[in-house]
A and B are shown apart, each in its own frame.
Chain A
Amino acid sequence: MATEVREVTDPLVIGGVTLGSRLIHGTGKFSSNAVLADCLRAAAPAMITLAVRRLGLGGGASELDDIDLSGYTLLPNTAGATTVEQAVRLARLGRAAGLSDLVKVEVIGDEETLLPDPAGTLEATRALVEEGFTVLPYTSDDVVQAIRLCEAGAAAVMPAAAPIGTTLGVLNPTNIRLIIKKLPCPVIVDAGLGVPSDAARCMEWGAAGVLVNTAIARAQDPPLMAMAFADAVAAGRRAFLAGPAEISLKALASSPAEGLPGS
């Protein structure tokens, strides 16, 4: 008799927004809008990230014109900001464009590695929380910085697995796990994930979600990779909720020792 598998529905709630998927999908670096649209259909994310830029005044369609954004929670970022002032301005522009208070705060501290500026990120987080934004700051894998961001009122904290766009995977698993363990707010692992198993591992550790962009956009078959990441995130989350078996250094037979047929 088949036992009914307990189907888990545990949406991610961030700042009052309920997300049915824990895969947050980036929209940059796709070879075309058609490929991006296929990926979004394949991964079915609840939330997607966007950047805010000047409109080209030369005419023609704007970049995401033929992408239907209506089915997604939009998470504008402040990518390109290197100062608190720039981040705050981009956040305000993003809010005006997206009509929601969600913002992924990025204050880049080093143009070559694109690693975040810790002091600027903390200050921008405080300022935007004060303005009523639901703030999701992008941060390095520094544990104490992540704690400070959470204390500053971040709705979720987004530590980088590896530098943006590298697809190196989780470079410091211990730090990511410590961040997940120590923070009272949700942790969304962002940046540098390479393959679905990276995402699954983060989810198994208890991450609230992951953000994936380059690993999908630059895959050989982006929509198939998008689907693979969605599966991995769901699998990792189920594994976290299920609770892994204890690791034992002593071999324990899975089959009974008794009742072996005689020779």
Chain B
Amino acid sequence: MNASPGSSEALAAPDLTVNGDPMALDGTATIGALLARLGIRPERVVVEHNGTIYRRGEGLDTSLSAGDVIEIVHFVGGG
């Protein structure tokens, strides 16, 4: 779930963990701001924030704080 020991956990606690990778918070206040920073269109993805799942395009005003764990997922081809 979290980054493996030796990467993020060996550093000072990462501000955010996004899709398994540490990421600096850098003043990113909300989920919407994070998606904008990453160049991701909100309507194409589902965000899970500390275990809470938001439907596509929802939860964008949710505040972020240090230690948050975020998963950004989308549909891919599958059977």
Q: Measuring CB to CB, which residues of chain A are less than 8 angstroms from any residue of chain B? A: 26-30, 36, 49-55, 57, 59, 62-65, 69, 74, 76-77, 79, 92-94, 96-99, 164-165, 191, 211, 213-214
Contacts and interface: CB of A to CB of B under 8 A. Distances in A.
Given A55-B72, A57-B18, A99-B55, A26 B78 contact: yes
A99 B56 CA distance: 8
Contact size range, B: 20 to 34
17 contacts: A28-B77, A29-B77, A49-B78, A52-B46, A52-B73, A52-B74, A54-B72, A55-B45, A57-B19, A59-B39, A64-B77, A93-B46, A97-B46, A97-B55, A97-B73, A99-B55, A165-B79
A146 to B, nearest CB: 19
A49 B55 CA distance: 19
Interface string B23-49: 000000000000000111000111010
Contacts of A74: 75
B38 A51 contact: no
Contacts, number: 98
Contacts of B77: 26-30, 36, 50-51, 63-64
Contact of A77 (B55, B72, B78): B78
